[in-house]
A and B are shown apart, each in its own frame.
Chain A
Amino acid sequence: MFKRSMAALAMVVGLAGPASADTIGYADAITLLANSCGSDIGKYCPKANLGNWEIGRCLMQNRANLSGQCAADLVRVGQSIEARKAAQASAEQICATDIRRRCPMTEAGRGRVLQCLLKAERTVSAACNAAITNAGWR
């Protein structure tokens, strides 16, 4: 559902391909939405909840009526959340070589391996460091 609404959102603003925006933290992203879309949420989406991106989908359905700022930030926030999800999905693969080289003795468990990579930041590849940052795992 979430992916579909994001795809629809990307089409509306004429974007092709995956979201490429830099990711921002979830708190920052969703606060931007709450601030920019506060009155539109009250008007058009008084029942929509935060889970399952209900609120984003509801705003999208009412996009013709949204304030300019809300419409712009809705796209930005949706892209950021989606880009972060993509980074989370691909980080382990991007960091596979770094994990083998820098953390071979680390006991399994995603948190522990990540903490090892964070400690080894200076010797970890740029791609892996970027993936960890974009995943919001720092």
Chain B
Amino acid sequence: MKHIVLLAALALAASTGANAQQRIDRNQIINSLYQTEATVARLDPIALEAAAAAAAASGGDNAPGPLSDSLSAYPQLSIEINFDRGSARIRPESYHAVGLIADALHTPYLMGQRLVIVGHTDATGGRELNFNLSKQRAASIYDALTTTFNVPAAGLVAIGLGEEQLQDPANPDSGVNRRVQIINLGE
């Protein structure tokens, strides 16, 4: 339930444009990702990424539908992080957001959890290109967290899903699809 509320909040934040990134604070990230009971999620992030790679390689311009319906069952949040166009370089205006994620992951509430960083693109451009870009961008955030911000790498995984898991399938080219999703798979 929690993620639904948060997505609504994000949509609201997105409509105010530049303020979007200032609207989230560390405790909101913790609350969105916190597991109240020790859940062991069935989701295999590496298999999911492999499915996205295969789907992206199947050609065509637009992905037919979401890869997984179970993603929404886990504690998660989506954050807007800006990258240079066609690149995995995090833009300085998004340093704050990445720093907030780091601050949240260093609290005991999220320590020791298995977390997946999922990169998504919109449907503009080729599927394979988008898949590779989303993968590189997720890796870029993983790198920033585990090196510059010293988040323990154990339990943290980064995958890309390209345009294969759109936030808004009715508007495949919409900016809301470009997002970084963080999912907590539990201990």
Tell whether A pairs with B. yes
| C-alpha spacing A110/B151, complex, angstroms | 13
Q: Is the CB of A49 within 8 A of B102?
A: no
Q: Is the CB of A118 within 8 A of B108?
A: yes
Q: Is the CB of A53 within 8 A of B26?
A: no
**Which chain B residue has the least Cβ–Cβ distance from A118?**
B108
Number of A-B contacts (CB under 8 A): 100
Chain B residues contacting A100 (CB-CB under 8 Å) are: none
Cβ-based interface call for B112 (8 A): yes
Q: Is the CB of A50 within 8 A of B108?
A: no
Task: Tally chain A residues at the interface, Cβ within 8 Å.
Answer: 37
| C-alpha spacing A14/B187, complex, angstroms | 45
Most buried by A among B89, B100, B103, B148: B148
Q: How far is the CB of A112 from chain B (nearest CB, A)?
A: 7
Q: Is the CB of B108 within 8 A of A53?
A: no
Cβ-based interface call for B58 (8 A): no
8 A Cβ contacts from A67-106 to B = 81, 84-85, 88
- Chain B residues in the interface with A (C-beta under 8 A): 26, 88-90, 92-93, 95-100, 102-103, 106-113, 140, 142-144, 146-150, 187
